[in-house]
Structure 1
Amino acid sequence: MPATPTWPPKSAPRLFVEQGLSLGAQIVIEGGQAHYLARVMRVAAGDAVVLCDDQTGEWAARVISADKRTVTLTPETLLRPREQVPDFMLCAALLRKDRFDLVLAKACELGVRKIQPVLTRRCVADKLNLERAHAVLTEAAEQCARTALPELAAPVKLDALLNGWPVERALFFADENGGEIAAQQFSANPGAAALLTGPEGGFDLAERTAIRALPQARAITLGPRILRGETAAIAGTALWMGICGDWAR
């Protein structure tokens, strides 16, 4: 007797939707997502699609109807509740578009809860298209099967970031001029944390002095080599996740 195939199949498309999901609700997808499902993935009535709403979690939904402009589905099974990601915030100085896209995508994959773009004196870029950045994060979350989208804040100047820094959150400062060993500092300061990484040209002396003056700041080194901004953000995040985050559980 042949085995009953699993449902939804592992090949089912996966999408984040803005509508709240619940058992038996009718979900209508339009625009680019409808085109992706109907024209690229070729879904038809009865097929499975995995949906996430960044509220309730991940659902297996069944296609009711599909055409080139709209796809209608109904959620049938809650597969996973919305995950609780570690309380880790990445404060990354703005980089050129392609490099910052990489930071956004990998931060999402690594499990960052919030991403705070930072404007410093040596930033080459000074603007961020938040709608486009959100799309990058959503695509990354769909790819890595994450059920909670990272919070994305609007860019803020470094001095404003430091002036409003919360007392209870440690700020690990990736200082290219040197600091304490990152792994040791992460282990010694568990709890709510953030990582601050710099732009292509690094922080200037005044910025470095201001950061080190913050009581919650911990200057760290990420090894013997000078890392590019995107490398520092990704490597530092991965290291924290391995020591204090959900990789360690």
Structure 2
Amino acid sequence: MIRLHVTSDLSANAAVAPTLDQSRYLTNVMRLSRGDELLVFNGRDGEWRASVAETHKRGVILKCEERARAQTVTPDLELIVAMVKKARVETIVEKAAELGAARVRLTVTRRTNVDRVRLDRLDAIAEEAAEQTGRLDVPPVDDPMKLEAILDGWDPARKLMFCDETGGAPAIPALTAAGPGPWAILIGPEGGFSPEEGERLRSLPFTTAVSLGPRILRADTAAIAAMTLWQAAVGDWER
């Protein structure tokens, strides 16, 4: 069944007005008409079975029928990734949504060589991935920030999984030993972290350095591998 992320509050008999683009998708692409059913979610009220109540030139109106699933809590995992080329950062955002990241934060490091990003495009990719994978929320994608600023404002209660490409760091056992709780994963740029950045990251008390194996991975592959390791070790894959 079609799933649609909406911003409206959801409750029994509530009327929901999708965006114009969403309405066109429902009627022109998926060929829904009055009475057809779909699933809607907003990240707050769970997932609801809804039906098309009205169709007109300005869009469609949906009516909530009954709740299909209660709202669940997404693991408190942030993915922090240095900006890379457009196609790769889009893949990272898509896979972050699929693998259960609660938030994606873009960062600028000393070796970052990409300075532009379309956040509206990345938000749309995250939304589509959430709709397709069955999750009940959509991870926000934050404006890029310098890595120094992110670390300066860090909440020490949040553990940081630092993907150390220089070698020598442990893998899953390091995460298991650190335990659950709010986490973040940091993926560096294509040229790796600078020596000064690496030294600072290793010195922070909330950081756990983790190896992703004997090969140097591209940023998108590293993000997927790191999130997979985290989910397997301390995430929600045991559910």
**Coarse TM-score class (shorter-chain normalised):** over 0.9
Q: Which residue in the other structure is 2:194 paired with?
A: 204
Q: Return the offset for 1:68.
A: 5.0
Secondary structure of 2:125's partner? Answer: helix
Q: Which residue in the other structure is 1:223 paired with?
A: 213
**Deviation per CA, 1:169-188, whole angstroms, max 9, x where unpaired?**
21111111024222011101
Residues 1:77 and 2:66 aligned together? yes
Equivalent-residue separation in structure 2 for 1:30 and 1:211 (angstroms): 43
Equivalent-residue separation in structure 2 for 1:152 and 1:136 (angstroms): 10
Q: Return the offset for 1:162.
A: 1.1
Q: Return the offset for 1:152.
A: 2.5
Distance of aligned partners of 1:154 and 1:179 in 2 relative to their CA distance in 1, 3 Å threshold: farther
Residues 1:31 and 2:20 aligned together? yes
Secondary structure of 1:153's partner? Answer: strand
Unaligned runs of 5+ in 1: 1-11
**Deviation per CA, 1:191-236, whole angstroms, max 9, x where unpaired?**
2211111111111111111211211112211101011111111100
**Deviation per CA, 1:132-168, whole angstroms, max 9, x where unpaired?**
2111100000010110111322211111111111111
Q: Which residue in the other structure is 1:106 paired with?
A: 95
Q: TM-score w.r.t. structure 1 length?
A: 0.91
Give runs of ≥4 in structure 1 deviating > 4 Å: none
Q: Return the offset for 1:100.
A: 0.5
Q: Which amino acid aligns with 1:168?
A: A
Equivalent-residue separation in structure 2 for 1:18 and 1:123 (angstroms): 34
**What's the RMSD between the two structures over aligned residues?**
1.3
Q: Which residue in the other structure is 2:115 paired with?
A: 126
What count of residue pairs does the alignment treat as equivalent?
A: 238
Secondary structure of 2:117's partner? Answer: coil
Distance of aligned partners of 1:30 and 1:172 in 2 relative to their CA distance in 1, 3 Å threshold: closer
Single out whichever of 27-36 and 219-228 deviates more from structure 2. 27-36
Residues 1:242 and 2:232 aligned together? yes
